[in-house]
Structure 1
Amino acid sequence: MKKDDQTVTEATALHSFDAMLTTYERWAQPCSQTFSRAALDGAALPVGATILDVCAGMGALAVPAAELGHRGWAIDVSPGMIERAAERLKPHAGWSTEVMDALDLHFGDNEFDAAFSVLGVVYFGPETGTALEQMVRVVRPGGVISVVNWAEPLGATFFIPVSRAVDRFDDPEVGKFVAPLTEFLEGPQLERALSGAGCVDVRSESVSGHFAVPSAEIFMEELDSVFQVLPQYRAAIAKDRDRFRDILVEEVLLMASKELPPARANIAYGRVPTPQETVGSSGLATS
């Protein structure tokens, strides 16, 4: 994957997520945790299951999983995120955290009952399949694999005013806003990814939630570290920060005067085939 492709790699995530810890916890963590709880509900695991949370961030899935009585590991490439996840998991026995590359899981085969990745490995572009295969490898036959991704190209609701402000800035050197997400935005796409990684009994569902957006007075300062991943945002700030800020404030105020649209995501689930099953090239199980 290349930075020019606007896909998120493990290397770029290491720097960007460590730089936005406080902001992420305040504004992004609630979204991730809502979708994580929905994924856990949909997986219907027995109490006491052993879970691997891949690209765990601050433990958006690991923490509610621990509250449900599960145990396991939370791994992420970002040291800052994993440190915060470890703090949040301290009250819960049976959980470990580690800085680890999702493309090279340091676990043996069949170690877990389930593996989840919420807003994580689906950002790896061509390497998404490799990450999913790693998840399948470490989950026992019959176990669950689940991935979550946004259902909209913008992702979180607070990107809406930024996209509109970039277009209103109307500078040829900045260009029009380009949505950061382009892949796996539909349930069937997620299902095909799981099937391609070797899962069977694949299905998906849509979830949504309403989340707060910061006030215009703090919007730019509060979320600047998040928006730095967007090339058009960086270009507009570099060109004329004050003018762009004024436009952005207007868009935030306009958005605040209306009913906010819900943030939408898709959750896909698959099962690791048992030894009695074989998976053909189509991804369909036969016995």
Structure 2
Amino acid sequence: MSEQLSSGVRPWDLVAEGYAATGATVLAPFAAHALEYVTISSESKIVDVAAGTGLLSVAAAELGAEVQAIDLSASMIDHLVAAAADHPAITARVGDGQALPYDDNSFDAAFSLFGLMFFPDRPKGFAELHRVLRPGGTAVVAAWASAAESSLMRALFGALVAADPTAALPQPNPRSLENPRVFDAEMRAAGLLDVRIQQHTVEVQYPDATALWESLTRSSANLAVVRDEVGEEEWQRRTEAAVDHLTVTYRPNTPLRTTALFGIGTAA
């Protein structure tokens, strides 16, 4: 494990509990969509890289697949193991998606749902997905589109600024996977064929401002770090300011949209 990757574990350990509790609201529909790109049967062997708390792993197992799930965060894997208690076809372990502990040509499909996008060495992550796939197998990788395209993220960032006027808002990053050309190029450079990049948008809604704030902040690794660093007293002050802002700007049960890019490719 590289020093850079090691330093990246802490946010995911901090957020694991909240991620398990609230992340499904936004992420479960994307996990279900990812599985639509692959035909799953009782003969399918898949790997879920940067699996988090196991939304995709469990959904795939329920379709009959044998699943190997791996994540750098031990806390995430602990929650995944608990979620997979009724699914013996899921094997979970702590490990590095840039150096997968699996043999070549092991899987019919390989997934990374909002995980590979954070790897310090994305090309290595894509290469590893390709390596462990059987010829003709499918790689499916999801990454967030630009925050500017998401009314959900705009609502969150508006609340963050209301809570802390010095908060830095995300800027477009043309070198990230939010750029479809970069996404396509990195998958092809890894040796994947028939690459296509597709958008998928999900709508979510919340009963009130508090539910919106709690759901999004508890499942954000970046904000878990902020909360840990500023302390509970300051976080509660920010929460009150943010909820006050959202109470004015968000009408309960109004749908909010968020968009992801899916990269799909075939192993040579």
Fold shared per TM-score above 0.5:
yes
- Distance (whole Å) between structure 2 residues aligned to residue 218 and residue 261 of structure 1: 13
Q: Secondary structure in 1 aligned to 2:261?
A: strand
Letter of the 2:51 counterpart: A
Letter of the 2:143 counterpart: N
Question: Between Structure 1 and Structure 2, whose CA radius of gyration is higher?
Answer: 1
> In the alignment, which residue of structure 2 is the partner of 1:207?
200
Does 1:248 find its partner at 2:226? no
Deviation at 1:150, TM superposition (A): 1.3
Taking structure 1 as reference, are residues 240 and 209 closer, same or farther at Cα in structure 2, changes over 3 Å only? same
Within 5 A, what are the aligned runs for 1:145-184? 145-153=139-147, 159-168=153-162, 171=165, 174=166, 176-179=168-171, 183-184=176-177
Letter of the 1:115 counterpart: A
Identity of aligned residues (%): 25
Letter of the 1:148 counterpart: A
Aligned pairs, number: 264
Residue of structure 2 aligned with 1:78, choices 73, 77, 89: 73
Deviation at 1:13, TM superposition (A): 4.2
Deviation at 1:164, TM superposition (A): 1.5
Deviation at 1:161, TM superposition (A): 3.6
Query: 8 Å contact 2:19–2:218 — kept in the other structure?
Result: no
Does 1:136 find its partner at 2:130? yes
- The alignment's C-alpha RMSD in Å is 3.5
For normalisation by structure 2, the TM-score amounts to 0.82
> In the alignment, which residue of structure 2 is the partner of 1:267?
262
Deviation at 1:62, TM superposition (A): 0.7
Deviation at 1:211, TM superposition (A): 2.3
- Distance (whole Å) between structure 1 residues aligned to residue 9 and residue 240 of structure 2: 31
Query: Structure 2: any 5+ residue segments left out of the alignment?
Result: none
> In the alignment, which residue of structure 1 is the partner of 2:19?
24
- Distance (whole Å) between structure 1 residues aligned to residue 183 and residue 194 of structure 2: 13
Query: 8 Å contact 2:109–2:138 — kept in the other structure?
Result: yes
Deviation at 1:142, TM superposition (A): 1.1
Query: 8 Å contact 2:147–2:170 — kept in the other structure?
Result: no
For normalisation by structure 1, the TM-score amounts to 0.77
Query: Structure 1: any 5+ residue segments left out of the alignment?
Result: 4-8, 274-287
Taking structure 1 as reference, are residues 32 and 12 closer, same or farther at Cα in structure 2, changes over 3 Å only? farther
Deviation at 1:229, TM superposition (A): 1.7
Deviation at 1:187, TM superposition (A): 3.8
- Distance (whole Å) between structure 2 residues aligned to residue 203 and residue 119 of structure 1: 17
Q: Secondary structure in 2 aligned to 1:61?
A: helix
> In the alignment, which residue of structure 2 is the partner of 1:119?
114
Q: Secondary structure in 2 aligned to 1:192?
A: helix
